[in-house]
Structure 1
């Protein structure tokens, strides 16, 4: 439907602007004479769901002389602010910005396999593998297993799965629940990933594993490097002539635990080129992709460590990988099992995902919002959030085994004061005059650990409770694998400025700017000023994306 505003009077437009109907507000906004200028002004952030609003002054200075060429004040711009896209990578938060992040991730990952963005093209000949590291089991969950796929695309798989947990013995857990499920779950089944028994499931161990998974990956990567060095020595090769470049993406499974998809590429070093020790060169002959597979399998099998002690588990948690490990060799040819394009698209997709698959979506939690998402007797994700908040507390709750001697702690009120606090035997007796075995506090050693030890690793559980304990980046890579996200963002800025200012003059390059832009901008808010503005800006961005997609399809058809 097309609505005409040409005959609308100023009074009618004013009534539309004050209306509670978003459509009438949008019509009033589009009828204003400054609408084209406003639409052009917000173009850079038009597709963002919650752009950042900045106000202040921008100065353009000549770099050679320091002379002020121009100045601009946001007070003379539409809405009095500059709109900047939020840049959020999560698809559930901002689809537009996440698409930009996803495309950047795809280009960076693929460049590390086929060259480009500063990576030489001969990396296509380097051995490379694609391993997937999974987490161990913390309890039986509802699953969907298809032993043999006949579908063309796994994303829309309609193959018949096997029964979830089909057993003849009808096992019963200690809580009286049957650990049997004969259902053949669909991809959209809400029961997928939920424990068979919530009380048997080790939620505390899972959130700790999520927190320590990045350390487990770091140790595994180092174990792979050591394996390659030992293998080179055993084969009479110089281990210093081999180097590994890695990248990984983290994926949140339905049960709320992280697993990693990685790319491991074998490079060489050039000792005869001291001016550029970081140059990417082909590796020497003698180690191939099958050796990389063996190195990954060995590292995943032997890498394990114990976390620092916690009042709940004084001996710490044991960190290992799960039994499922799949490592495939990456090929550049289109007919390979795992090609560079498949790997890049796969990792880029998960770079924009988070906890949405578990059904939990929230921002960082605080003392005022934790009760909305945490419940020790609630759903699976609510128990995971509660485990993060409980284990990450500054003081372990005053409950558990009783003291084995007359209580000489300070009063209960004093114990609950914030640290630093040192339990001593010189303080007053508890105000309740506790007797042997009657004290509800934990032992002296446990209280000393919980109150005097900073326990910084465990405090991070509260910081990342909204991520179910995982506090790492969802897409990381080694420095020599490929370029950075900042490189791609800066290249886009240069392109847009060049497009705005026109072609470069003779002798002038993009790397040699003649002007310097100095911004004195302050944050004044986030989001659009009204739902009508958001609708108009997002609609304009959607139309522009549709036009670009059609143009891309047309160019592809011509090239074909």
Structure 2
């Protein structure tokens, strides 16, 4: 993302690469033609000046939907307009008549390290999706705000001692920029050594940026195989845990003579520094209508947030299973949650340490992250690229990737997913998921954005209830069909990237300032009402 005060392009200097060495498919981002022999090199400034003086505003309107994207997809072909009732072809628009001869589409990548602009759109959508399941809106009835809800964090078990930074009591305002004095990493009265001769103690008080955090005290003692298998099984473990929590609540409801209930959830996965996945989960207790299973209704009055907390705690501490056998471990690996379980009740009031807005922002933040915290970031690995990242005798992350590749050999059915997700250290689940009935969907949020933009383009009034109206998308008088094919990824020149990203950044800053002004105005009005 390029700020308006910076002249740095989002494009990588090497075609098809970013600063994090994530390979884009197809044509690289920088596609400027080489200068003629003896001519001066073509710089981003020169191509930006050329673009700014040649139909700049027409071009900007054309690429606006992808402005800010680090590597937009370029499509070429033709766009057909058809009468949906008669099938008559009304018009044809070849992309060759458009600026640059292509249509630009934002990549839509959710990872902030790949495309900050698209990831920010995804994060904002995730925030609205999570919060609407707590307070209503976006097509969700506001009665959900009365349902008991908790915010739980499920962690992985230990696979061997690692360097940690533990602060008993935080006094800082922002834990992400913590300056509190931590406890010694692994203080011991007597220092013992492992079978490999490595001392199993560390008296350092690690700073947040210390690269040793998350690294095993002894790489050879650490169980990398169990680690990646647990990552791969984390999704199944969560499924069984939720089922067990619902089963516990319904048993309690039957004993109290109450009707059936169910749990709706929103969940975000996060990598710890050691490379293990843990889950941040919002769980909401709902009633169940047998006549309309899709309806979201309040739970019976006889069940409280304390009952929901007990059910989640019971499920997290009792659910465990063993994987099928493997040549490396015939008895299979045990799969269970770690000892660090945190469950907190939620409220819509500010007098509780955990509010709906905090949880929504927390989950949305992790929805745009990946394995970057471990120091590794790559696309899917194959036989040609695995040797660049895997090494059984290498670093901690290299050993995890090697474990995925070795254990996921095709000769071991049931574990083949480990190779497919070796670049994710074995974890193959989505980073943000939710129950179907929890709230709205990403598709509905994108559709609302389309309707808003169409209203802007056609100068039609955008009604406040447009989110709930599908007619303007479903009842089209004409049908637009895109006969398009892939032409490449990235902006045509570094100058184009500079101009597009700068314009998009300025628009974001204007929106941010507008939101701040509205928030200030609302706060001022509330203060005046209280004073009156």
**Which TM class, normalised by the smaller chain length?**
0.7 to 0.9
2:389 is the alignment partner of 1:373: yes
Q: Residue 26 of structure 2 aligns with which residue? A: none
Deviation readout 1:123-176 (Å, 9 max, x if unpaired): 111111111111000000000000011111212211110110111201111100
The size of the alignment, in residue pairs, is: 486
Q: Secondary structure at the match of 1:72?
A: strand
Q: Residue 145 of structure 2 aligns with which residue? A: 124
Q: 2:309 aligns with which of 293, 298, 315?
A: 293
Given that residues 452 and 462 in structure 2 are in contact (C-alpha distance below 8 angstroms), is that contact kept between their aligned partners in structure 1? no
C-alpha deviation, 1:498, in angstroms: 2.5
Q: Residue 477 of structure 2 aligns with which residue? A: 514
Deviation readout 1:242-276 (Å, 9 max, x if unpaired): 121112111110000000111111111334xx3x4
Deviation readout 1:355-409 (Å, 9 max, x if unpaired): 01111111111111111111111111111111111111224xxxxxxxxxxxxxx
Deviation readout 1:38-73 (Å, 9 max, x if unpaired): 222111111000111111111223334444333211
Deviation readout 1:444-486 (Å, 9 max, x if unpaired): xxxxxx5xxxx1x311111111100000000111110001111
Partner Cα distance (1:526, 1:486) in 2: 24
Given that residues 16 and 28 in structure 1 are in contact (C-alpha distance below 8 angstroms), is that contact kept between their aligned partners in structure 2? no
C-alpha deviation, 1:17, in angstroms: 9.6
1:333-412 pair list within 5 angstroms = 333-395=349-411
Q: 1:136 aligns with which of 136, 157, 161?
A: 157
Given that residues 455 and 462 in structure 2 are in contact (C-alpha distance below 8 angstroms), is that contact kept between their aligned partners in structure 1? no
Higher RCO (CA 8 Å, separation ≥ 6 residues): 2
Q: Secondary structure at the match of 1:261?
A: strand
Larger radius of gyration: 1
C-alpha deviation, 1:508, in angstroms: 11
Moved more, 218-227 or 489-498: 489-498
Q: Residue 96 of structure 1 aligns with which residue? A: 117
Q: Secondary structure at the match of 1:188?
A: coil
Given that residues 167 and 180 in structure 2 are in contact (C-alpha distance below 8 angstroms), is that contact kept between their aligned partners in structure 1? yes
2:493 is the alignment partner of 1:536: no
Q: Residue 478 of structure 1 aligns with which residue? A: 435
Given that residues 145 and 348 in structure 2 are in contact (C-alpha distance below 8 angstroms), is that contact kept between their aligned partners in structure 1? yes
Partner Cα distance (1:15, 1:75) in 2: 29
1:408-419 pair list within 5 angstroms = none
Q: Residue 445 of structure 1 aligns with which residue? A: none
Given that residues 17 and 29 in structure 1 are in contact (C-alpha distance below 8 angstroms), is that contact kept between their aligned partners in structure 2? no
1:20 and 1:371, CA in 2 relative to 1: closer, same or farther beyond 3 A?
Answer: farther
1:427-438 pair list within 5 angstroms = none
1:18 and 1:316, CA in 2 relative to 1: closer, same or farther beyond 3 A?
Answer: farther
RMSD between superposed Cα atoms in Å: 2.3
Partner Cα distance (1:105, 1:310) in 2: 38
2:247 is the alignment partner of 1:226: yes
Partner Cα distance (1:329, 1:115) in 2: 18
Q: Secondary structure at the match of 1:243?
A: strand
Q: Residue 256 of structure 1 aligns with which residue? A: 275
Q: 1:305 aligns with which of 321, 328, 336?
A: 321
User: Could you state the TM-score of these two structures normalised by the residue count of structure 1?
Assistant: 0.83
User: Could you state the TM-score of these two structures normalised by the residue count of structure 2?
Assistant: 0.87
C-alpha deviation, 1:531, in angstroms: 1.9
2:194 is the alignment partner of 1:173: yes
Given that residues 165 and 185 in structure 2 are in contact (C-alpha distance below 8 angstroms), is that contact kept between their aligned partners in structure 1? yes
Q: Secondary structure at the match of 1:42?
A: helix
1:190-229 pair list within 5 angstroms = 190-229=211-250
Deviation readout 1:501-523 (Å, 9 max, x if unpaired): 23279999525332221111111
1:416-495 pair list within 5 angstroms = 450=412, 455=413, 457-495=414-452
Q: Residue 527 of structure 2 aligns with which residue? A: none
C-alpha deviation, 1:550, in angstroms: 1.9
2:44 is the alignment partner of 1:28: no
2:490 is the alignment partner of 1:527: yes
1:346 and 1:528, CA in 2 relative to 1: closer, same or farther beyond 3 A?
Answer: same
- Structure 2 unmatched runs, 5+: 8-34, 464-468, 524-532
Partner Cα distance (1:298, 1:550) in 2: 46
1:66 and 1:18, CA in 2 relative to 1: closer, same or farther beyond 3 A?
Answer: farther
Q: 1:79 aligns with which of 82, 86, 100?
A: 100
Given that residues 16 and 27 in structure 1 are in contact (C-alpha distance below 8 angstroms), is that contact kept between their aligned partners in structure 2? no
Q: 1:244 aligns with which of 238, 263, 266?
A: 263
Deviation readout 1:11-48 (Å, 9 max, x if unpaired): xx9999972422223223323x2222222211111100
1:209 and 1:466, CA in 2 relative to 1: closer, same or farther beyond 3 A?
Answer: same
Given that residues 45 and 84 in structure 1 are in contact (C-alpha distance below 8 angstroms), is that contact kept between their aligned partners in structure 2? yes
Q: Secondary structure at the match of 2:212?
A: coil
2:284 is the alignment partner of 1:265: yes
Partner Cα distance (2:133, 2:36) in 1: 56
1:310 and 1:545, CA in 2 relative to 1: closer, same or farther beyond 3 A?
Answer: same
Q: Secondary structure at the match of 1:487?
A: helix
Q: Residue 555 of structure 1 aligns with which residue? A: 518
Q: Residue 326 of structure 1 aligns with which residue? A: 342
Given that residues 219 and 396 in structure 2 are in contact (C-alpha distance below 8 angstroms), is that contact kept between their aligned partners in structure 1? yes
- Structure 1 unmatched runs, 5+: 4-12, 396-449
Moved more, 150-159 or 33-42: 33-42
Q: Secondary structure at the match of 1:367?
A: coil
Q: 1:150 aligns with which of 157, 167, 171?
A: 171
Deviation readout 1:152-201 (Å, 9 max, x if unpaired): 12122111101101112011111001111111111111111000000100
Given that residues 259 and 300 in structure 2 are in contact (C-alpha distance below 8 angstroms), is that contact kept between their aligned partners in structure 1? no
